Amino acid sequence: MANDSCCICLDDFSSTLHDVKELKCKHKFHVHCIEQALKQKSFCPMCNTPVGAPCGNQPIGGRMTWSMNNRIHLPGYDNFGAIVIRYSFSGGTQQHNHPHPGQRYSGTTRIAYLPDSHEGQEVLALLTRAFDARLIFTVGRSITSGRDNQITWNDIHHKTRTHGGAHGYGYPDPEYLKRVKEDLRAKGIY
């Protein structure tokens, strides 16, 4: 496709009927086309570069705290202590961007673990940015309980156990830190 047409509607940019908008990534679209596309997903339709500040639908009012624990050693990171992350939310009412607006959702507390290594500290900083952008959790159906109107993870993997390996939500998992950074990048956090 030529660079002189909108990749969404395929119409020529030379038409005076449509204004053209260029994103930071230098891809161009008709203003109406890109505004509609960005309502669905805040990424360039051509190259997947995030557009604007990422913002999710995580319930408002949650807390993220963390502490360092030198008595916990995660398998695969035996020379390091652990970062213990605690997420806590009270119950509340679903908003317009949740599956059942006006219905109540249950509160929750979740604990997650990272190695207290340089890369673990880097992931902690990224997770903090993602939490502040309301991207870590959402409201929906719990995979584990099957119940609706629950606060659930929002496609950013966490290790909720110190042991058990990759399939047991724990360590060792040599690819985990790389994988969670990829999850975060997909949400516009890097």
Whether 175 is in a domain gets the answer yes
Same domain as 89, residue 160: yes
Whether 58 is in a domain gets the answer no
Report whether pLDDT(17) > 80.
no
Q: What is the pTM of this model?
A: 0.77
pLDDT-based confidence at 13, cuts 50/70/90?
A: confident
Task: Please give the sequence-ordered ranges of beta strands (E in DSSP) within the chain, or none if there are none.
Answer: 20-22, 28-30, 63-69, 82-89, 92-93, 104-105, 108-115, 137-140, 150-153
Same domain as 42, residue 83: no
In the block, tokens 């890097």 appear at 190
Express each pLDDT in 48-91 by its tens digit: 887 877 788 999 999 999 999 999 999 999 999 999 999 999 99
Predicted local confidence at residue 16, as pLDDT = 66
Same domain as 89, residue 41: no
Predicted local confidence at residue 14, as pLDDT = 81
| Residue 103 Cα distances to 63, 100, 148, angstroms | 22, 6, 10
What's the CA gap between 171 and 177, in Å, rounded? 11
Whether 7 is in a domain gets the answer yes
Residue 176 is part of a domain; what is its CATH number? 3.30.390.130
Structure tokens at 76: 């695969």
Q: Which residues contact 26 (CB under 8 A, 6 or more apart)?
A: none
Same domain as 180, residue 87: yes
**Residue 86 is part of which domain span?**
63-186
Express each pLDDT in 32-56 by its tens digit: 999 888 877 778 899 888 787 778 8
pLDDT-based confidence at 148, cuts 50/70/90?
A: very high
Q: Decide if 89 contacts 108 (C-beta within 8 A).
A: yes
How many whole angstroms from its chain centre is CA 5? 32
Same domain as 76, residue 20: no
Same domain as 87, residue 17: no
Count CB atoms within 10 A of the CB of residue 51: 19
Q: Does residue 185 sit in helix, strand or coil?
A: helix
Residue 27 is part of a domain; what is its CATH number? 3.30.40.10
| Residue 95 Cα distances to 65, 116, 136, 189, angstroms | 25, 36, 17, 24
Same domain as 94, residue 73: yes
Structure tokens at 136: 């870590």
Structure tokens at 143: 């995979």
Express each pLDDT in 91-136 by its tens digit: 999 998 899 999 999 999 999 999 999 999 999 999 999 999 999 9
Same domain as 95, residue 47: no
What's the CA gap between 156 and 126, in Å, rounded? 11
Predicted local confidence at residue 90, as pLDDT = 96
Q: Which residues contact 118 (CB under 8 A, 6 or more apart)?
A: none
Report whether pLDDT(1) > 70.
no
Express each pLDDT in 162-190 by its tens digit: 999 999 999 999 999 999 999 998 888 98
What's the CA gap between 123 and 116, in Å, rounded? 10
